């Protein structure tokens, strides 16, 4: 469905909140809206009247009722570029595609990806230890792209396909910035993106053929190829899903990693505790996928996800009338939930604006109270892989030194497509004598 088809229908009984200041402080505006009106209120969002859902209880209610009533609101541009990718599918096709994709992205499959991830991360972390970097987020985005290419497609850095893949992928990503409606047809990025999509499908087909034969191990591709070999057409083609996974992985995981490292740079005591765990990982990399292992590194992940949720908003459209927070929402209404609205509730997270990973260690807070990976029908399918990639990067980095931000923390932040520093952020690793 396209944004053009969504004439905003009234959600008349829902309290209205002004959108003043949303461009510069979106989380502050959402927090204030929920403080005043509770889990559900409405507000103009990018010029369209939208019902905002948040708080722990509000998001939980949305996830419980969404199936068959709310659909992911994707623009015509997203449909053109991503075809029948997971987030463009509905009903049975969507459920079937998730069922087929999940085993390669979670559970026992993860242990097989650890050596290839460490191979990709090692040289990058080594360069940071030696020379630092002038642009942490830019470097982390590149690294996330390389990790995803290795794990999802079996493409190692330096291979012939690596450069072709990276160039086509960048063109494809640029196309997602084209206008969402009919104006996309007059935008050069759109046509370049359509042609990049074809090039990427060619790379995927080549890698899939190799995956059936002598491709390097440590990749999800052979499992995915096998899962989709006899898949029903309604589950969509694997090529479309691969592109969606690569896109869904990149900005989000890069954002999480950037904020983990930024916060560790400001919290030397916790960074030292985490570095001790990181050294244990170099002796036993299986700890990265061990149940209950690495509590300190995991507390850093949880607290960064709480304080710096990568995604600001996820969009839905009501496809039939429904009730949220006691308010009737008509079909056609645009609905959005914020994964992080609820992460700053002082009753659940005391001193909510401070980075205190210890709250997850001491059992004062539970990571199950976080919605950073969404929930319900479209909950993040890549969560276990995202957490593995983030733990692996943090471990490799902390083995080599303690993070430092020579120019201090970022002062200007953008929130979309994922929360990230706007300006280049210098980053260094200080070597400490091992105690
Ligand atoms: C820190 C990293 C990540 C965060 C915070 C994150 C967050 C999210 C959120 C909030 C959603 C729900 C969107 C919605 O409700 O519309 C989502 C969906 C999704 N994510 Fe992630 N994600 C991350 C990493 C990944 C990775 C690494 C992958 C793949 C390898 C991935 C694949 C997906 C897919 C395929 C969906 C769509 C699921 C569906 O529509 O059924 N994500 N993610």
Tens digits of residue pLDDT in 6-30 = 444 558 889 999 999 999 999 999 9
Tell me the Cα Rg of the chain: 22
> Which residue's alpha carbon is nearest to atom 27 within ligand 1?
249
**pLDDT by residue (tens digit) across 86-128?**
999 988 999 999 999 999 999 999 999 999 999 999 999 999 9
CA 330, CA 70: separation in Å to the nearest integer?
Answer: 11
**pLDDT by residue (tens digit) across 338-352?**
988 789 999 999 999
CA 227, CA 241: separation in Å to the nearest integer?
Answer: 12
Tell me what pLDDT residue 215 has.
61
Distance 311 CA to ligand 1 centre (A): 9
Pocket of ligand 1 (CB under 6 A): 72, 86-87, 98, 105, 244-245, 248-249, 252-253, 256, 310-311, 314, 339, 372-374, 378, 380-382, 385-386
**Full 3-state SS string of 312-344:** CCEEEEECCCEEECCEEECCCCEEEECCCCCCC
- Minimum mean pLDDT among 150-159, 207-216, 409-418: which range? 207-216
> Which residue's alpha carbon is nearest to atom 30 within ligand 1?
382
CA 421, CA 224: separation in Å to the nearest integer?
Answer: 34
Distance 432 CA to ligand 1 centre (A): 36
- The bridge status of strand 314-318 relative to strand 334-337 is antiparallel
> Residues 208, 221: contact at Cβ < 8 Å?
yes
In this prediction, residues 284-305 reach a mean pLDDT of 97
Task: Report pTM.
Answer: 0.96
| Per-chain mean pLDDT for the chain | 93
Tell me what pLDDT residue 254 has.
98
279 pLDDT tier (thresholds 50, 70, 90) = very high
Sign of the C-alpha dihedral computed for residues 130, 277, 137 and 202 taken in this order: positive
Distance 247 CA to ligand 1 centre (A): 9
CA 153, CA 225: separation in Å to the nearest integer?
Answer: 11
Distance 206 CA to ligand 1 centre (A): 26
Percent of the chain that is helix, strand, coil (3-state, to 5): 55, 10, 35
In terms of Cβ atoms closer than 10 Å to its own Cβ (0-12, 13-18, 19+), residue 397 is: buried
Tell me what pLDDT residue 7 has.
47
CA 414, CA 417: separation in Å to the nearest integer?
Answer: 8
Cis peptide before 393 (omega within 30 of 0): no
**pLDDT by residue (tens digit) across 365-417?**
988 889 999 999 999 999 999 999 999 999 999 999 999 999 999 999 999 99
Tell me what pLDDT residue 432 has.
73
CA nearest neighbour of 306 among 342, 252, 263: 342
Tell me what pLDDT residue 3 has.
42
CA nearest neighbour of 268 among 398, 387, 138: 398
Name the 3-class secondary structure at 49.
strand
210 pLDDT tier (thresholds 50, 70, 90) = confident
Whether 189 shows a pLDDT value over 80: the answer reads yes
Residues 343-350: contacts with CB under 8 Å, at least 24 apart: 343/306, 343/307, 343/309, 343/370, 343/371, 343/372, 344/27, 344/31, 345/55, 345/56, 348/56, 349/306
Q: How would you label 267-277 residue by residue, b for 16+ Cβ within 10 Å and e otherwise? A: beebbebbbeb
Distance 350 CA to ligand 1 centre (A): 27
Please work out, in degrees rounded to the nearest 5, the angle formed at the alpha carbon of residue 33 by the alpha carbons of 310 and 316: 55
> DSSP states of 162-190 as a string?
HHHHHHHHHHHHHHTTS-SSGGGGG-HHH
In this prediction, residues 227-245 reach a mean pLDDT of 96
Candidate CATH numbers 3.40.50.2300, 3.20.20.80, 1.10.630.10, 3.20.20.140; the one for domain 3-399: 1.10.630.10
């Amino acid at each position: 469905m396209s944004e053009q088809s969504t004439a905003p229908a009234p959600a008349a009984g829902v309290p209205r909140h002004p959108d003043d200041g949303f461009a510069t402080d979106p989380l502050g505006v959402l927090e204030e809206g929920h403080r005043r009106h509770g889990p559900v209120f409405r507000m103009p969002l990018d010029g369209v009247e939208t019902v905002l859902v948040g708080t722990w209880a509000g998001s939980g209610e949305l996830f419980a009722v969404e199936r068959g009533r709310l659909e992911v609101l994707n623009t015509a541009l997203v449909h053109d570029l991503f075809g029948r990718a997971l987030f463009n599918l509905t009903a049975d096709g969507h459920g079937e595609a998730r069922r087929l994709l999940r085993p390669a992205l979670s559970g026992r499959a993860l242990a097989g990806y650890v050596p290839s991830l460490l191979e990709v991360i090692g040289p990058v972390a080594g360069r940071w230890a030696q020379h630092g970097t002038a642009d942490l987020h830019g470097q982390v985005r590149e690294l996330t792209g390389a990790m995803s290419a290795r794990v999802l497609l079996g493409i190692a850095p330096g291979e012939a396909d690596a450069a072709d893949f990276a160039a086509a992928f960048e063109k494809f990503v640029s196309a997602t910035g084209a206008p969402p409606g009919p104006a996309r047809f007059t935008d050069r990025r759109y046509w370049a993106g359509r042609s990049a999509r074809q090039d990427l499908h060619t790379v995927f087909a080549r890698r899939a053929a190799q995956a059936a034969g002598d491709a390097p191990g440590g990749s999800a591709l052979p499992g995915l190829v096998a899962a989709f070999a006899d898949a029903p057409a309604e589950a969509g083609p694997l090529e479309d899903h691969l592109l969606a996974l690569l896109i869904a992985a990149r900005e989000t995981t890069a954002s999480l990693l950037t904020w983990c490292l930024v916060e560790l740079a400001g919290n030397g005591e916790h960074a030292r505790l985490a570095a001790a765990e990181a050294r244990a990982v170099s002796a036993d990399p299986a700890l990265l996928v061990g149940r209950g292992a690495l509590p300190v590194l995991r507390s850093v992940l949880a607290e960064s996800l709480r304080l710096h949720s990568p995604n600001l908003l996820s969009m839905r459209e009501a496809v039939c009338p429904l009730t949220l927070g006691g308010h009737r929402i008509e079909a056609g209404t645009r609905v959005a939930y914020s994964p992080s609205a609820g992460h700053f509730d002082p009753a659940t997270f005391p001193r909510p604006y401070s980075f205190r990973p210890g709250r997850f260690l001491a059992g004062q807070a539970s990571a199950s109270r976080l919605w950073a990976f969404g929930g319900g029908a479209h909950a993040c399918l890549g969560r276990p892989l995202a957490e593995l990639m983030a733990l692996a990067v943090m471990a490799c980095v902390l083995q080599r030194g303690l993070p430092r931000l020579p120019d201090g923390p970022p002062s200007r932040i953008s929130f979309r497509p994922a929360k990230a520093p706007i300006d280049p952020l210098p980053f260094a690793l200080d070597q400490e004598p091992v105690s």
